[in-house]
Each structure stands twice: as structure tokens, then as C-alpha cells.
């Protein structure tokens, strides 16, 4: 199975006392994410399922990807992909999707890096990664979402690299 891990695009600045979960992608972040999604499509990536954090900026990122693929598959919200959720809990929530060949998850740092570390090395803080906003990682996994179930990190692309790949 391939697990693709995408950090949400650049969002609006957080205002004092505002709801962090309601922050939308900025206009520039939205434009860049559309171009990055086109890069994913140009790479020939396919997704059986797109799972996203419920935070607005992640949902909008997942929708931009789905739109680049003609709206299919439609993103599904998974609460355990929210910011601040422990990587073990996030990975546990992904288990029902292990039957798919290709899964894309959209979320937040440092949780996404923690998920990568957990799946590859068995601990959420064994590997030090820092995914930029809009970065995409590809992992090769066995058919489960458990500690150390990863066969390897296939690649990690920056947002700029994804945008350059679009046709």
C-alpha cells in the first residue's frame, strides 16, 4: 500500500482570539495548492481515498486535490487527523482504510511527521522531519497502519517541486 501524506497549504494569519480551526487557505495558498495538485496528477499519482483533518485549511487543501482529479475521490473528514492529536491515535484511526492500495491523508505538523516516524521507525519521535506547507511524502506500507509497518520512505517533495511537475 502507498500512503501519501500532505501538509495543508498556506493559510490566513491567525487573528488574536480567532478560531484556529476556521482559518482558510490564503488566496496565494489556494493558488499554490491547485498547482501542487496538478503536479501530483502529472506524476501519475492516484488515490483510492482522500482523508483530511476537519480544520478548514486542511479540508480546502484536500478539496483542491480532489478537484484536480475531477472530484473523485471526494475527501472524507477524519477527526483524528486534527492538529494536536497524538500520532498513535491518528494512525489508529486510519486502520479501517488499510484495504485500499493508495491513501492520501491531509493534516498538520508536527502530527504528520510523527505519523511518518511512527510508521517507519516505531516511535513518533524517532525521525526528525519538518514538512513545509504543501509538502507531500510517499510511504510504502504493509497492509496495516501500525508501529514500524512501513517498508520505507519512497520520496518527499517540497511544494515548489510539486508545482514544477505540473504539465
Q: What residue ranges do the domains of the chain occupy?
A: 2-165
Q: In this structure, what C-alpha cell is assigned to residue 49?
A: 481515498
CATH 3.40.50.1240 fits 2-165, yes or no: yes
| Tally of CA atoms within 13 A in the half-sphere of 47 that contains its CB | 29
- Per-residue pLDDT at 53: 98
Looking at per-residue pLDDT, the higher value among 16 and 156 belongs to: 156
Query: What pTM was estimated for this model as a whole?
Result: 0.95
- Per-residue pLDDT at 17: 66
- Per-residue pLDDT at 47: 98
Spatial distance between the Cα atoms of 120 and 133, rounded to a whole number of angstroms: 21
pLDDT band at 12 (very low <50, low <70, confident <90, very high): confident
Looking at per-residue pLDDT, the higher value among 37 and 17 belongs to: 37
Got the DSSP string for 12-74?
PPPPTT--GGGPPBPHHHHHHHHHHHHHHHHTT---SEEEE-SSHHHHHHHHHHHHHTTT-SP
Instruction: Find the mean pLDDT for residues 89-114.
Output: 96
Q: Strands 136-141 and 2-7: what pairing?
A: antiparallel
Above 70 in pLDDT, residue 21?
yes
Instruction: Find the mean pLDDT for residues 42-70.
Output: 97
- Per-residue pLDDT at 147: 81
- Per-residue pLDDT at 14: 76
- Per-residue pLDDT at 13: 84
pLDDT tens digit sequence for 118-167: 999 999 999 889 899 999 999 999 878 888 888 899 999 999 999 999 86
Instruction: Find the mean pLDDT for residues 75-96.
Output: 96
Q: Which residue in this structure is represented by grid cell 473528514?
A: 77
Which are the contacts of 130, defined by CB distance < 8 A and separation ≥ 6?
A: 109, 110, 113
Above 80 in pLDDT, residue 28?
yes
Instruction: Find the mean pLDDT for residues 93-112.
Output: 96
- Per-residue pLDDT at 151: 86
Amino acid at each position: 500500500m502507498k500512503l501519501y501524506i500532505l501538509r495543508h497549504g498556506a493559510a490566513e494569519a491567525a487573528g488574536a482570539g480567532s478560531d484556529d480551526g476556521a482559518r482558510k487557505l490564503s488566496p496565494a495558498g489556494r493558488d499554490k495548492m491547485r498547482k501542487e495538485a496538478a503536479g501530483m496528477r502529472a506524476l501519475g499519482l492516484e488515490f483510492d481515498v482522500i482523508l483530511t483533518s476537519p480544520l478548514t485549511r486542511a479540508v480546502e487543501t484536500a478539496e483542491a486535490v480532489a478537484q484536480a482529479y475531477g472530484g473523485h475521490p471526494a475527501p472524507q473528514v477524519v477527526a483524528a487527523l486534527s492538529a494536536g492529536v497524538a500520532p498513535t491515535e491518528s494512525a489508529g484511526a486510519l486502520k479501517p482504510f488499510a484495504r485500499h492500495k493508495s491513501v492520501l491523508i491531509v493534516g498538520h505538523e508536527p502530527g504528520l511527521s510523527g505519523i511518518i516516524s511512527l510508521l517507519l521507525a516505531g516511535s513518533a519521535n524517532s525521525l526528525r522531519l519538518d514538512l513545509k506547507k504543501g509538502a507531500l511524502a510517499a510511504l510504502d506500507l504493509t497492509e496495516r497502519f501500525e508501529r514500524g509497518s512501513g517498508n520505507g520512505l519512497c520520496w518527499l517533495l517540497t511544494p515548489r517541486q510539486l508545482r514544477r511537475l505540473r504539465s
